[in-house]
Structure 1
Amino acid sequence: MTKPIQNQSFFLSSTAGDAMRTTLEEFVEDKDAFSPNTWRQLLSVMRICYRWAEEHGRTFFPISPADLRDYLSWLQSSGRSSSTIASHAALISMLHRNAGLVSPGTSPLVFRTLKKINRSAVVSGERTGQAVPFRLSDLSRLDARWAGSDRLQQVRDLAFLHLAYNTLLRVSELARLRVGDISRTEDGRIILDVAWTKTIVQTGGLIKALSSHSSQRLTEWLMISGLAAETDAYLFCPVHRSNSARINSARPLTLPALENIFLQAWREVGPATPAKKNKGRYQGWSGHSARVGAAQDMARQGYSVPQIMQEGTWKKPETLMRYIRNVDAHKGAMVDFMENGFN
């Protein structure tokens, strides 16, 4: 039998000792050491695994390697992708480590299970999903449509998309920006002081410079909306149907609201035919599209992988390579060798 700890989605068996319970409670108290998204994912995985354990008569926590193997296999049979299953295994292991326990993920049994799941997924044709790229040419077309619009929402959305493409920041990182994070160079271009990102959490933060064109669009939004003098307000706020900005310093725009900006852009200048469905989604631009499109555009222009990684704050080259894997694939070393050497 299992019980919740202080209304959190962590559970202990009735035989768990006080020391383990105390350790887990300290883990919950220190949740700010992790990003909000990581913590939400952890809670979600705990709920799913707990329900599975209840339904199948297994012990949820601590979970044995054999039970974790069966849980991961169940996820596969339920249609979860191999990357999702790997995330479940990693988060369950994270919980055990923070409880002072040996992670069940270190067991060869679990290692072989994950390897088998991944191999099965690859052989069956599963591919990592990727957002439809929002490229510089798309931004240019949209700029021609929305620049000077008398609709404040379009002024805001155009400024947002300029920042999304120019900075390669994630939408959650863009949403956190405040008016006070802006400074300017001598020629008027905007500098953004980004406090932290998913991969950069340090007191020095991150500095992002905007092009003159993107600086102009953001300045237009700030002036027309009345945000320019509101240093504590979030850079992007809701727009009322009366065509006025609802200046807000309490909370940023929600993820659905930000995703809707990409949806409206797709309706305005996107292709007439939806993109080929990828893993049940990605038929139009979404929150990651500007990040993907900017990375691909830089790769096409010959910028190096380290340069692109720095702009997008990627820590691992393989993460970036998933975005640019199809860019100039025909220019590989072997293709070049064959083209020049075949008689």
Structure 2
Amino acid sequence: MNETMKMIKTSRLKRKRRFILMTSLMAIISLVLCGLMLMLGNTIYPVQDVIKVLLGEQVKGASFAVNTIRFPRMVAGLFAGFAFGVGGYIFQTMLRNPLANPNVIGITTGSSAAAVFCIIVLNASNIVVSIAAVIGGLATAIFIYLLAKGTSFSIGRLILIGIGIQAMLTAFINYLMLIGNTHDIPAAMRWLSGSLNGAKLTNLYPLILVVCICTPILMYFAKRLEMLELGEQAATSLGVNTNETRVILIITSVLMIALATAATGPIAFISFLAGPIAKKLVGVGFSGLIPAGLIGVILVLAADLIGQFAFETRYPVGVITGIIGAPYLIYLLIRINRKGDL
């Protein structure tokens, strides 16, 4: 018995060390990428100049570039990436299916449809577009959940309904693009591609506030989330109020995703990729919530840097993440089809 207990403690200690090491490494990589976002551009500024600007000193040329363009862009990528990563992890873990993420089941498409409607039909301001995107994402999530709930909640039903709703909303967006005025379509396309271009700090405050409020709530429910992954009956037997927990997790994570979408547009595949990558890196036994958020940050910032500097033409971050994520989605669909899980 003592030997068994020792083995269990040793194994848990190893898992804990791995979790701390990998999470710390992700945090360091995120900080390095944040630094690169502030340093790199048409003019490359040294670290000392960037630090001086951040501390409030005036540095010729650097002050305007860093404060007005690069810092808001970096903050947008940081908080949107974290929100997409955490939101995707919540859905994939709670629904026990890698396809059950906000991109695939239509939540970000709901935000996109509302935003494009405001841009093309209403010619609304950026603030109205952002508010509409949040409302559209929340309304879509609630609608899908109510349809999937029925007499008893079904994961497969939710995913299939979500995919159907996404197809309908995508068709609606395409229709709006066809009937829209020529001068409105480029703005809608920029928004739909998912981009950090033109990010303004004042427009990011709602996203920053919601991420700072919702993250501790999600961390508090992290243990219940892991129990939900065991299945409905197992979670209930362990004392988890599954309906209440699921509603709180959905509302908080959708709110983060909707505000991130409102700030940057629907950056493709971040919520899809972040959770599985984080789980592979940190292993089992500990919540992958924060690691998934950090992977989301790394993917967004790295993709934005690649889009800006790796090619002759500059591409929005969503184009780069789409190129990365599409092959993984195809592979996952083939694997699920072979196993017959969906």
> What is the TM-score of this pair, normalised by structure 1?
0.24
Higher strand share: 1
Q: Which structure has more helix as a fraction of its residues?
A: 2
Between structure 1 and structure 2, the one with the greater Rg is 1
